[in-house]
Chain A
Amino acid sequence: MGRITLEGVQKSFGPVHIIKGADLDIPDGAFVVFVGPSGCGKTTLLRLIAGLEDVSGGRILIDGNNVVDVPPAKRGLSMVFQSYALYPHMSVRGNIAFGLKMAGLPKAEINRKVEAAAATLNLTPYLDRKPRELSGGQRQRVAIGRAIVREPKAFLFDEPLSNLDAALRVQMRLEVTRLQKQLGTTAIYVTHDQVEAMTMADKIVVLNAGRIEQYGSPIELYQRPANLFVAGFIGSPKMNLITGAEADKHNATTIGVRPEHIGIVEAGNEGWSGKVVIAEHLGSDTFLYVDAGALGTLTVRVVGEKRLNAGDAVMLRPEPSRIYRFDANGNSMFA
């Protein structure tokens, strides 16, 4: 079991409020991703749950028990750090076994569990190597092995993939997700990469400036962002935000249209006219940055190869049903 509930959790460093009251309910077995820009407090929130920082206010419940005064080791959680934090002078076996050794398990049982974890993570050939003799991906696996071997109530991941190259990151992303589903253990995963968040999460927590902006499934966040911040943060490329006369037509202060919801129509049709500033040809998609006069520069995503180049005039048409409306406070207005 690993249900984690936050009730009004606050954290201040001196006069600086990092977490301004977080309420959250993470059901058992869920994969929850904390996502947000740098300095939004996502890592701090994770460290509060881990017990590496003390809360300034509020309660953290694990399976219904308040753990704010419980030391990290007794909370039954395990953590994978950004730097992996492997013990450099111990072998892979020693690293994975360390937590069990500290718990005072008998040697035979430790060996059995370490071998099992190593087999799950394809680390068996490397058990007697030192961390410095491993590649980045292997070190990452050792760090995960160290976390799973203790059979915790929940895994805490602190940007674990940010030190890997792009190809390996995609591969590890899949492995982590698969492993979590296989073990069925609750996981909290911190990242600033919204693609990681969208692909891995059962539920995403979007954080900004110490506040939880929205908590929901990836598609919910994409389709029904609660406010301007979430709308701008989730989705790649970013949503186009338009203010002024065009927004007034929709009775909103700001309207937003995602780049994939803008079509290119023949000249003469109704729409927004503009001029292509830059065209990025990715093969599968073409991203157009279009100067649309009073509307500003709009990003347009066209599926497939579109033979348009800088300087070409285009006529843009947003899908009317996919226009998001925001009020003066930046909150969404759904029809």
Chain B
Amino acid sequence: MATRQTQLLARALMSPAVILLFIWMIVPLALTVYFSTLHYSLLDPGSESFVGLENFEYFLTDPAFLASLQNTLVLVGSVLLLTIGLGIPLAILLDQPVIGRNVIRLMVIAPFFVMPTVSALVWKNLLMHPVSGLFAWIATSLGMTPIDWFTDAPLLAVIFIVAWQWLPFATLILLTALQSLDEEQKEAAEMDGAGALSRFIYLTLPHLARPITVVILIETIFLLTVFAEIFVTTGGGPGLQTTNIAFLVYSQALIQFDVGTASAGGLVAVVIANIVAFFLVRIVGRNLEA
């Protein structure tokens, strides 16, 4: 691929795809930037006017912003901790030779294929419902008072639901990594007198450093934008207790019909995602360098 012709040909052949993707990205971004500088309310059509950075000021000084930023970070952090903290032991269990291993693996992966709205509804109505839910039944049959999850611990409930959905992803990535751990290294450690725990700490965990990084980076991208689970279960409430940035942008646009502020919020969310990504890559990204 060194000659000038092949380089030119490659560029020419790739350009339609690249140009299409570029337009796909730049048009919505440009429109969002444009809307964010307008007074643009759907309740008052025809009154659009240029207001400069007022939408940003309004969005950033809104008390809901800081609350939802905190909720976003708590949600992302907790789900990461839960999926990796449970994913590692689960992956190790699934790596053991047991009867029906393939069926068990399939069942473990299953939650990942359930769409977020459906799984949120299942959790809301079948599991966490304070009267008819499974958890309530367990609590009452043990003589305890059922927890009303979405009133008493709404953010925790959302965290559980999202973690349940992402646990299979983490488990799967970690399981494939475990399977590539050299059998002879484990045996060498065994000969060296390392017990199961030492082998886990000195051999398995370092081997898993890279897949854990991958899980953190990929999950973070998606967890910053969790929406369906909140919309279906709590609607951001009670109060602002489960409102994250994505949900706040939604409520500005389609509950308060303020497109201008919602666009400003969208751009703020982009900046926040980049800040988070920057720190993540600084902290864990060096694991990806071979």
Contacts and interface: CB of A to CB of B under 8 A. Distances in A.
B191 A50 contact: yes
A98 B191 contact: no
B62 interface: no
B16 interface: no
A72 B206 contact: no
B188 interface: yes
A102 interface: yes
Interface in A94-122: 98-99, 102-103
B184 A99 contact: no
B194 A98 contact: yes
B198 to A, nearest CB: 6
Interface in B202-249: 202-203, 206-207, 209
B190 A72 contact: yes
B182 interface: yes
Interface in B120-162: none
| Of listed B189, B192, B203, B206, residue having the most chain A CB within 10 A | B192
Given A83-B184, A85-B187, A146 B192 contact: yes
Nearest to A81: B184
A98 B184 contact: no
A72 B192 CA distance: 9
Interface size class of B (residues with CB under 8 A): 10 to 19
A82 B187 CA distance: 12
Interface string A66-87: 0000011110011101110111
B274 interface: no
A73 B203 contact: no
A102 B203 CA distance: 13
B189 A87 contact: yes
Interface in A39-94: 50, 52, 71-74, 77-79, 81-83, 85-90
A79 B202 CA distance: 19
A79 B193 contact: no
Contacts of B182: 83, 85
A50 B190 CA distance: 10
B181 to A, nearest CB: 10
A86 B237 CA distance: 54
B203 to A, nearest CB: 7
B194 A52 contact: no
A89 B185 CA distance: 12
The A interface, classified by DSSP as helix, strand, loop or mixed, is loop
Contact of B191 (A73, A87, A88, A103): A73
A77 B192 CA distance: 9
B61 to A, nearest CB: 48
A106 B142 CA distance: 52
B194 A87 contact: no
Nearest to B194: A102
B198 A77 contact: no
Nearest to A78: B191
A85 B185 contact: yes
Contacts of B187: 52, 72, 79, 81, 85
Contacts of A71: 190
A87 B184 contact: no
A74 B193 CA distance: 7
A85 B188 contact: yes
A79 B191 contact: yes
Nearest to B188: A85
Interface in B161-197: 182, 184-185, 187-194
A78 B190 CA distance: 10
Contacts of A52: 187, 190-191
A152 to B, nearest CB: 9
A99 B206 contact: no
Interface of A: 50, 52, 71-74, 77-79, 81-83, 85-90, 98-99, 102-103, 146, 150
Q: Which 4 pairs across A and B sit closest by C-beta, in order of nearness?
A: A73-B193, A99-B192, A85-B184, A85-B188
Interface of B: 182, 184-185, 187-194, 198, 202-203, 206-207, 209
24 contacts: A52-B191, A71-B190, A72-B187, A72-B190, A73-B191, A73-B192, A77-B191, A78-B192, A79-B187, A81-B184, A82-B184, A83-B182, A83-B184, A85-B184, A85-B187, A86-B188, A87-B202, A87-B203, A87-B206, A89-B206, A89-B209, A103-B193, A146-B188, A146-B192
